[in-house]
Amino acid sequence: MIGPDSIHVEVLDEPMLEFGNAGLHQEQRAGIIAHGPADVGIEGRCEAIRVGLVGDGQALGELRGYLESAASGLEAKETDLTQLFPEFPGCTATAGFRAPLVFSDASTRAMGRKELACISDAATPAEKIKAAVNLCAAAVSELSQGAAVDVVVLARPPGIPDGAGDTRGVGDNFHDLLKAALISTPAPTPIQLIRPATWRGSVGTEDPATTAWNLFSALFYKAGGKPWRLQTSRTEPTRCFVGISFAKLGDGQLFASVAQVFNELGDGVIVRGALAERSKHDRQAHLSSVDARNLLNDALERYRDVHGNLPATVTVHKTSSFTSSERDGFLAAADAVPLKCELVWLTNSDSAMAIRGSRRYPPLRGTLVRLSEDEHLLYTHGSVPYYRTYPGLYVPRPVGLRPCSIERPVEAIAREILSLTKLNWNRARMEARMPITLLTARRVGDILRHVPSSVAAAPQYAMYM
């Protein structure tokens, strides 16, 4: 039992992000408005976003009109919370992400009524999803091969079920199956799925400016842009961040291991590892020492292939505890390079909670609770002073922070995790709960389980978003 005298609570300062011309800000959208994206002034930056469009005829007209209108800018929501709901400045050569959208007739692929009939004619939800995946994958591939585009925006066809269970009890959905089909093709192009409700502003969607911020952040990143980056120092060693996660396979006992590797710019690569087994001791997925070493070694090699060099240090986040065998394997891979390596287990939920004040306000984002030397709680999701409110809908839950092997104070590890929650290109504000290393871990695993191990899958993280 932990007594109150053994608990220490502190609130960490909100980490800064770096934007264009080395400008700094704590908030993603405010930084973009004030300084432009992080790649401003960098040779070879994304100067324009060449957009491909795929969908039925009516949807294509509406979608292009929406994208062109939003790219000109959208007014902020009428509210007193002006910093939580800013205007969208647009996406032009001089505003927002400083990269105008470029369309052409050659980069548009309309799916006709006869083609779409394969979805409505299918008998079961699973067959409808399969028919839609085959149709859309073919359309995207055809467009990508015939036109120079950076990202394809796909208007989700009507009549596709949200999901369908299979005989193994594992749910399949259109998004995962389509991504799996496309990441296995030669020279794949990132895609952005969008529902009609998004551009029509139907009931239940967010305000137009917030919707545009999230959509254009994703489009810019998928097109190769660098929206924002972690604040770095020339005096500190370069660091990469590796998230190790596991995706359940059909038998419930074997798990596919996946490493998600990011640098300080947020460039991500995906690496598949060996199968893991559920431990009888803690019911979690674990790797053998050899497989742990091979997975981190492959992750570092892929990092070198993409970036041309290796970092000086690596931080490994994992969704399950580290066994002694895993610890030995990961550290052996780092020692062989050699480079410094830290291992941190991040739990998705914890039974302990904190409240703030007599009125029981949600804890501040950045609240670090030390329960013991080995157990800490970090509120990555909570009340944000910059927003003057709590931006969530439900009671915030902390992330469990359990160091396995670290060389820095736990406060430094926690600040780093807070920073990494901001490298979320699908949500352009301070509300993500998990760091980018593990934020979409389950989604990436659910996609890769549809790709046979004998098939080479695209390594770029943008392909899985």
Cis amide linkage into residue 100, ω under 30° from 0:
no
CB atoms within 10 A of CB 48: 14
pLDDT of residue 167: 37
Residue 38 located in a structural domain: no
Residue 413 located in a structural domain: yes
How many angstroms separate the Cα of 27 from the Cα of each of 6, 37, 241, 333, 427? 34, 12, 21, 36, 12
pLDDT of residue 92: 97
| Length reported for the chain | 465
| CATH number of residue 376's parent domain | 3.30.420.10
Q: Say how many domains are in the chain.
A: 2
Instruction: Give the model's confidence band at 248: pLDDT under 50 very low, under 70 low, under 90 confident, else very high.
Output: confident
pLDDT 10s digits, 328-374: 999 999 999 999 999 999 998 666 677 776 567 889 999 999 999 99
pLDDT 10s digits, 191-242: 999 999 999 887 677 999 999 999 999 999 999 999 999 998 877 888 999 9
Distance between the two ends of the chain, CA-based, in angstroms? Answer: 42
Least confident interval from 31-45, 178-192, 198-212, 409-423: 198-212
pLDDT of residue 240: 94
Structural domain of 50: 46-222
The verdict on 299 and 431 lying in the same domain is yes
Q: How many CA atoms lie within 13 A of 28 on its CB side?
A: 28
pLDDT of residue 172: 67
Asked if pLDDT for residue 253 goes beyond 70, the answer is no
Instruction: Give the model's confidence band at 78: pLDDT under 50 very low, under 70 low, under 90 confident, else very high.
Output: very high
**Dist CA 15 CA 22 (whole Å):** 15
- With beta carbons less than 8 A apart as the criterion, state whether 273 and 295 touch: yes
Residue 428 located in a structural domain: yes
Q: How many CA atoms lie within 13 A of 78 on its CB side?
A: 0
How many angstroms separate the Cα of 170 from the Cα of each of 164, 249, 290, 450, 465? 9, 8, 29, 11, 21
Asked if pLDDT for residue 1 goes beyond 50, the answer is no
- With beta carbons less than 8 A apart as the criterion, state whether 465 and 222 touch: yes
pLDDT of residue 393: 85
How many angstroms separate the Cα of 281 from the Cα of each of 181, 287, 321, 322? 36, 14, 11, 13
pLDDT of residue 329: 98
Which of 126-130, 168-172, 244-248 tops mean pLDDT? Answer: 126-130
Asked if pLDDT for residue 16 goes beyond 80, the answer is yes
Residue 306 located in a structural domain: yes
- With beta carbons less than 8 A apart as the criterion, state whether 337 and 298 touch: no
The residue from 222, 243, 261 where one domain ends is: 222
pLDDT of residue 5: 60
pLDDT of residue 349: 67
The verdict on 390 and 304 lying in the same domain is yes
Calculate mean pLDDT across residues 164-179: 68
The verdict on 138 and 240 lying in the same domain is no
pLDDT of residue 187: 83
The verdict on 216 and 111 lying in the same domain is yes
pLDDT of residue 207: 94
The verdict on 171 and 241 lying in the same domain is no
Calculate mean pLDDT across residues 12-37: 97
The verdict on 258 and 150 lying in the same domain is no
Asked if pLDDT for residue 4 goes beyond 60, the answer is no
The residue from 199, 222, 245 where one domain ends is: 222
Contacts of residue 227, defined as CB under 8 A and 6 or more positions apart, other chains included, come to 28, 32, 37, 38, 97, 217, 220, 221, 266, 425, 428
Residue 459 located in a structural domain: yes
The verdict on 54 and 192 lying in the same domain is yes
More confident residue, 401 or 170: 401
Angle at 117 between CA 116 and CA 119, to 5 degrees: 75
The residue from 222, 248, 274 where one domain ends is: 222
Residue 202 located in a structural domain: yes
Residue 34 located in a structural domain: no
Instruction: Give the model's confidence band at 279: pLDDT under 50 very low, under 70 low, under 90 confident, else very high.
Output: confident
Calculate mean pLDDT across residues 270-289: 89
* 445: its two tokens: 């695993």
Calculate mean pLDDT across residues 12-24: 96
Mean pLDDT of the chain: 91
Residue 207 located in a structural domain: yes
In the sheet with 24-25, reading across from the earlier edge strand, the strands are: 24-25, 17-18, 229-230
Calculate mean pLDDT across residues 259-263: 94
The verdict on 288 and 413 lying in the same domain is yes
The verdict on 306 and 208 lying in the same domain is no
**Dist CA 262 CA 440 (whole Å):** 13
pLDDT of residue 169: 38
Instruction: Give the model's confidence band at 387: pLDDT under 50 very low, under 70 low, under 90 confident, else very high.
Output: very high
Calculate mean pLDDT across residues 129-142: 96
The verdict on 126 and 240 lying in the same domain is no
The verdict on 145 and 265 lying in the same domain is no
The verdict on 165 and 301 lying in the same domain is no
Calculate mean pLDDT across residues 429-447: 90
Q: In terms of pTM, does the model score above 0.85?
A: yes
Calculate mean pLDDT across residues 30-35: 98
pLDDT 10s digits, 136-167: 999 999 999 999 999 999 999 999 987 655 43
